[in-house]
Amino acid sequence: MPDAEQIRATVQRYTEVFSAGDKDAYVGLFAADATLEDPVGGEVHRGTEAISAFWDMTRQMTPEIELTVTGPVRVAGANAAFPGEARPLLGEDRMMVPVIDVLAFDEAGKITQLRAFWDFADLRPAE
């Protein structure tokens, strides 16, 4: 099982590659049978092919999204939860929505489940 330091490093890498627009590195963080639910209550994307398609769909809506961690990454066993902000560029406007991400990891340190808690109702102009 990955230790807390490895999990925190993967969370950091997740935000870096997502923000950099590095699709291959992003998809490479996930186990082959991983699930992604973003936002929670929406469609659950299963497997790296579906996660890759989710990336494409998201980047069609906005080609640029900054993802930052805004508080401590809490690790319990092979799971992590952390607060963050997604800052998409919508047209000419930089927007912001607060997010709580919850991730689970396998023995190899790959993400097996990602659940992003956020709501479009919270989307507002970034300051």
The count of C-alpha atoms lying within 13 angstroms of the C-alpha of 117, restricted to the half-sphere facing its C-beta, is 7
Sign of CA dihedral 38, 84, 100, 97: negative
Q: What is the pTM of this model?
A: 0.95
pLDDT for 14-41, tens place per residue? 999 999 999 999 999 999 999 999 999 9
44-46 and 30-37 strand pairing: antiparallel
| Cβ atoms < 10 Å from Cβ of 5 | 9
User: pLDDT category, 1, cuts 50, 70, 90?
Assistant: confident
pLDDT for 65-122, tens place per residue? 999 999 999 999 999 999 999 999 998 999 999 999 999 999 999 999 999 999 999 9
The whole-angstrom separation of Cα 75 and Cα 57 is 30
The whole-angstrom separation of Cα 20 and Cα 103 is 20
Question: Looking at residue 23, what is its pLDDT?
Answer: 98
| Active-site residue set | 14, 38
